[in-house]
């Protein structure tokens, strides 16, 4: 499902954020990427989602060479296949909950009914129905996190990517997130979570933990 082949990612001053990384995630797997801060987790997730390109090597997602796709095609591919749960939420703060959730659908020209049906289902699922028209800025951290997840699911992607999803949550909310994660796994989604939160490392339903240190696989 997801394949990285001999990836190098080099930033300014010849800094290697990733060094010769190869890894493989199968369909339906839940994989954790683990490293200390600065280890290169976010960089790997960006490459998988086509948000950036490797300096060398190839990234294949669903057999598509996403690392070679022109920018607009990468966007389209991302829209159709990947739900991204960002570390810093990345919500559009002065839009309502509903509007934030449908952002990924806007360029697709879906019909209104379908959109509203999907939104209603997600709002219900993440206990946000009453907050539908609330401006996101005014929500609590846990509520914002749930909006982020709902937004990641609106396009019904087969791959979910989460970057330090619990970094901004207290313990209770973190546990809620873990529960969501398991639900998603049960739905058959392929999931990659970057984290250094110990909470994740002894969960029975996690399939694999990939550890990185300063851009190198351990």
Partner 1 sequence: MFLLSSILFIANSIRYELERTLNSLPPITVQKLQAGRHELISLQKLDKLLDIDGVQSAIPRYWGYYYFANAGVNFSIVGVDIFDKAYSDILHNLLENGTFGNDGMLVGQGVAKILRENYYKEYFNFVKSDGSLKQVNLAGVFDAKTSLESNDMIFMPKALVQEIFDLPQDKATDIVLQVANKDEIPNIIAKVKEIYPDSRVITKDDMRISYQNIFDYKSGLFLALFIVAIFTFFMIIYDRASGLSGNEKKEIGILKALGWRIEDILQEKFYEAFIISFFAFITALIAALSFVYLLQAPLLRDIFMGYSVLKSDFDLPFTIDFRMLSVVFFLSVPIYIAAIIIPSWRVASMDADEVMR
Contact 96, 133 (CB under 8 A): yes
Q: What is the Cα–Cα distance from 144 to 75, expressed in whole angstroms?
A: 24
Shortest distance in whole angstroms from residue 46 CB to ligand ATP = 8
Q: Does 43 bind Mg ion (CB under 5 A)?
A: no
Q: Return the range that interacts with partner 1 (CB under 8 A); candidates 20-28, 80-88, 174-182, 197-205.
A: 80-88
| Given 42, 46, 144, 195, the residue binding Mg ion (CB under 5 A) | 42
* Distance set, CA 188 to CA 28, 35, 91, 160 (Å): 5, 26, 26, 11
- For tokens 């948000």, name the residue: 51
Shortest distance in whole angstroms from residue 108 CB to partner 1 = 9
- Alpha helices for the chain (secondary structure H): 41-49, 71-81, 97-102, 112-125, 141-153, 171-186
For the segment 199-218, give every residue that binds partner 1 (CB under 8 A).
none
Shortest distance in whole angstroms from residue 114 CB to partner 1 = 17
2 or 83: whose CB is closer to partner 1? 83
Q: How far from each other are the two terminal CA atoms of the chain, in whole angstroms?
A: 22
Q: What is the Cα–Cα distance from 126 to 130, expressed in whole angstroms?
A: 11
Mark 15-54 with x for binding to partner 1 (rule: CB under 8 A) and - for no binding: -------------------------------x--x-xxx-
Q: Does 79 bind partner 1 (CB under 8 A)?
A: yes
Contact positions vs partner 1 (CB under 8 A): 46, 49, 51-53, 71-72, 75-76, 78-80, 82, 84, 86, 90-92, 103-104, 106-107, 151, 155
């Amino acid at each position: 499902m997801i394949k990285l082949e001999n990836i190098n990612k080099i930033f300014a001053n010849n800094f290697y954020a990733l060094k010769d990384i190869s890894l493989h995630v199968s369909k339906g797997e839940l994989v954790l990427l683990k490293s200390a801060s600065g280890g290169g987790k976010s960089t790997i997730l960006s490459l998988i989602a086509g948000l950036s390109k490797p300096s060398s090597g190839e990234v294949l997602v669903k057999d598509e060479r996403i690392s070679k796709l022109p920018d607009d095609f990468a966007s389209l591919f991302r829209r159709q296949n990947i739900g991204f749960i960002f570390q810093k939420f990345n919500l559009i703060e002065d839009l309502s909950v509903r509007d934030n959730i449908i952002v990924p659908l806007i360029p697709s020209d879906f019909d209104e009914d379908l959109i509203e049906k999907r939104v209603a289902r997600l709002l219900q699922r993440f206990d946000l129905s009453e907050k539908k028209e609330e401006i996101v800025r005014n929500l609590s951290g846990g509520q914002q996190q749930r909006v982020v997840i709902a937004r990641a699911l609106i396009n019904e992607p087969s791959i979910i990517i989460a970057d330090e999803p619990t970094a901004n949550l207290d313990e209770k909310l973190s546990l809620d997130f873990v529960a969501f994660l398991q639900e998603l796994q049960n739905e058959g989604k392929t999931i990659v979570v970057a984290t250094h939160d110990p909470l994740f490392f002894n969960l029975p339903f996690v399939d694999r933990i990939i550890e990185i240190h300063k851009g190198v696989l351990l």
